[in-house]
Amino acid sequence: MANLRGLASRKRRRASTIVESDAGVPDTDEDQSGEDHSSEDIQMLDASPSRSRSLWSGSTNGDTTAAGTSASSPRGPESSSTSSTCGSHQPRTKFIIGLDYGTTFSSVSYVKFDPDNPPVTLRGEQIQSITDWPDAGGRWRNPEVPSESWYLGDEFHWGYGARNTLQESDDDNLDCRNRIIQYAKLLLPGDQKDTRGPRQELKRTLHRAKKDEVDVTRDYLCEVLKYTKEFLEDREGFNAKCEVELVFCVPAGWPHKAIRTMQEILLSIARGIELGNLAPPYVLNEPEAAAAYILEAGSRTEKLAVGEVFIVCDAGGGTVDAIAYKVDQERPFRVQEVVAPTGSNCGSSYVNQALKEKVIKRIKSTPYSSVPGPSLEHTIENSLMTRFEYDIKPRFEPSIGLDGTTVLPVSGLQRNQRLGFGSGTIHIPRREIADLFKPSLQGISKIISQQTGAMKAKGLNVEKVLLTGGFSKAPIFRAHIAAEFKGLKPMYAPKNLDAAVAVSHGAVFRAMNKSDGPKRIVQSNFGFLQIEERNLRLAAHRVATPTDGDIDGKMYIKNVLDWVIKKELVLSKQQKFRTRNWQVFKIDDELAFNQKIWVSDFDNARDHYQAHTKFNKGAEVFGMLQIDFTPVREEGLLEVKSGPRGQYYEIHYELAMEVDGRNLTVKVFCPPGGQCRAETQLCIAAAFIPGTD
């Protein structure tokens, strides 16, 4: 068997990673100077079609930062554009691919069509699922794949293969250093008030494996999308010329930083595996995606009238979200959020964790550790948890009575009636099994009650709750909801719709028609990092420590943020913003530097303050524009100035942010209003309310 301790270390890559400048290129933090300019200096130009060429399929320098890829030059190969890839006289093929990355299971759905002649309406049965997942065995028809992975030496096992490989192994040293990676999605939102359960166990596993949540999520989703591509190539004739729109779903209420992280992961994977001619990704809330599919695509589903208010509760393996909507229109089905979503980590994986802890506690009080064979950790993961996950938990039904016991396999146990052990089995009273569900079910009740309470405070009446997610299929879940919320009519996916793919199918369904979605209210601030000449009239400068400029002798404030696009601004599909800046260089300096683009989700972001201050809380690098003003010097457009420390160039230029749908193109013009000297394109899909086009 491979050495379990041979896990390769991987460099940590977080959404907040600082992009370093290339060797030999001075960084803006050290070499840039900027004039004093307030937010009023930023010009918001009239909306007009952007003249920038899409870089989505073009060659990039591979530097992925936070939520986008920085292009190394303003122009790429002509073959990268959609028109040149497919050809104006060639038939075009487009795929919308919907991804539901779940805490315990994931699914991928798709639809294939001619974008020049798209279907007028899309029925649920027209949306297909990726199936035949590797190592699925008898579950080959299952559209879901476990969100699990296992690092075994230099090998990486994922999906069904992770647990299959574990079951085939005979290692007796399985522990927190090398256990299966489960529930990684729970860590993506960052710090949460969750001191128990799978998140803490996973943190210990990742720490020992020298990986983080981004590493393991990227590795797993890379395999999912690679298999998706192979499946489509084999079944649908997919090739590099096909247009692809990737749709990913996130829990309601997820922070935008977590959405950016998912966006960065998926874009880097999609580009790396050459997943067709990529359009900007589209983001949806999981509850909205499920509701759109069940309530509109499902022909046998009870319909909701315009103006009706209802709750969607998406109960999955890890997160459970509830959100109240008002129906804005029936076709296409559109909803409006009426109160803030509520959610918590109380999904069905916490039931698994409670069972695991109970079994370990019971067995460790016995001489089991002296029994030859696999470790206790290995035995529990190998057989007991697999049996519980697939056979017991989905079918456990309290209504048939709580007397008797549930028998689970634990190889090596000796028969002991007093301890409830059989020969290679453990017997757990059904009443105790039911108790394992209680904390999760009580958490779900609290989440739904928070929604009903918030609506009552607004004078809104709600009579129906749509229940989705894998946990919602369990009989014990349905019995609990019926008993707890007698005033709410529960709605479930009809039997002709597979609830397991409601989110991924809904993602495709909703992306096919994006009209009448949320307003384009940007949820993040975008700006530039710069140096400003010290101005004591500005409060931000009075509390900052100045630096003596070593070129022109002036006093500067370093690492200042100039926010060009402010949070809560309603953006048009095409909109341009420009701001002016300037740099000073010694006569013999290289005129190249990296202009960093920053993002922050903080409310009321303020200009002129340094990046590390409280006014820029949570700000991080989003992208980078590589600038070289050597051609400007060669064109004789630079003015030489004399200062107390010699001659220098003072270069004035314009920085532009051009919004084009879910893209943001950043450009530099020098002289101001003159020629574009460099540009890069970033994706800002994660900066909008999910569902925004």
- SS3 assignment, position 263: helix
pLDDT band at 125 (very low <50, low <70, confident <90, very high): confident
pLDDT at residue 68, rounded to an integer: 33
pLDDT over threshold 70, residue 171? no
For 74-113, how does the pLDDT look when each residue is reduced to its tens digit (9 = 90+)?
333 333 333 334 444 578 999 999 999 999 999 999 999 9
pLDDT at residue 414, rounded to an integer: 86
pLDDT band at 64 (very low <50, low <70, confident <90, very high): very low
In our burial notation (b when 16+ CB lie closer than 10 A, e otherwise), range 140-156 reads: eebbbbbbbbbbbeeeb
pLDDT at residue 39, rounded to an integer: 36
pLDDT band at 552 (very low <50, low <70, confident <90, very high): confident
Q: Where are the domains of the chain?
A: 28-72+521-687, 91-240, 286-345+450-510, 349-437
pLDDT at residue 295, rounded to an integer: 86
Global pTM exceeds 0.85: no
Bond prior to 671 in cis (omega within 30° of 0): yes
Which bin fits 5, alpha (ψ -120 to 50), beta or left (φ > 0)? alpha
pLDDT over threshold 70, residue 185? yes
How far is it, in rounded angstroms, from Cα 198 to Cα 345?
Answer: 10
Q: What percent of the chain has pLDDT over 70?
A: 83
Q: Which helix (H) or strand (E) holds 106?
A: strand 105-113
Phi, psi of 537 (to 5 degrees): -75, -15
For 131-158, how does the pLDDT look when each residue is reduced to its tens digit (9 = 90+)?
999 999 988 889 999 999 998 878 899 9
How many residues make up the chain in this entry? 693
Strand partners, 93: none
Mean pLDDT over each residue of the chain, to the nearest integer: 83
pLDDT at residue 30, rounded to an integer: 40
In our burial notation (b when 16+ CB lie closer than 10 A, e otherwise), range 248-279 reads: bbbbbbbebbbbbbbbbbbbbbbbeeebbbbb
- SS3 assignment, position 148: strand
Asked if residue 660 lies in contact with residue 59, where contact means CB atoms within 8 angstroms, the answer is no
Strand partners, 529: 561
pLDDT at residue 262, rounded to an integer: 98
Higher pLDDT, 124 or 157: 157
> What fold, for 286-345+450-510?
Nucleotidyltransferase; domain 5 (3.30.420)
Name the least confident of 223-232, 280-289, 401-410, 415-424. Answer: 415-424
For 6-63, how does the pLDDT look when each residue is reduced to its tens digit (9 = 90+)?
333 333 222 222 223 333 333 334 444 343 333 334 443 433 333 333 333 322 333 3
User: Identity (one letter) of the amino acid at 501?
Assistant: V
pLDDT at residue 275, rounded to an integer: 98
pLDDT over threshold 60, residue 195? no
Angle at 458 between CA 453 and CA 462, to 5 degrees: 60
Q: Which helix (H) or strand (E) holds 457?
A: helix 430-457
- Mean pLDDT of the 315-327 span: 92
pLDDT over threshold 60, residue 189? yes
How far is it, in rounded angstroms, from Cα 289 to Cα 283?
Answer: 10
3-state SS string over 281-343?
CEEEEHHHHHHHHHHHHCCCCCCCCCCCEEEEEEECCCEEEEEEEEEEECCCCEEEECCCCEE
Q: Which residue matches tokens 């020969």?
A: 423
Q: Which residue matches tokens 């933090």?
A: 29
Higher pLDDT, 191 or 613: 613
- Mean pLDDT of the 321-337 span: 89
For 433-453, how does the pLDDT look when each residue is reduced to its tens digit (9 = 90+)?
999 999 999 999 999 999 999
- SS3 assignment, position 246: strand
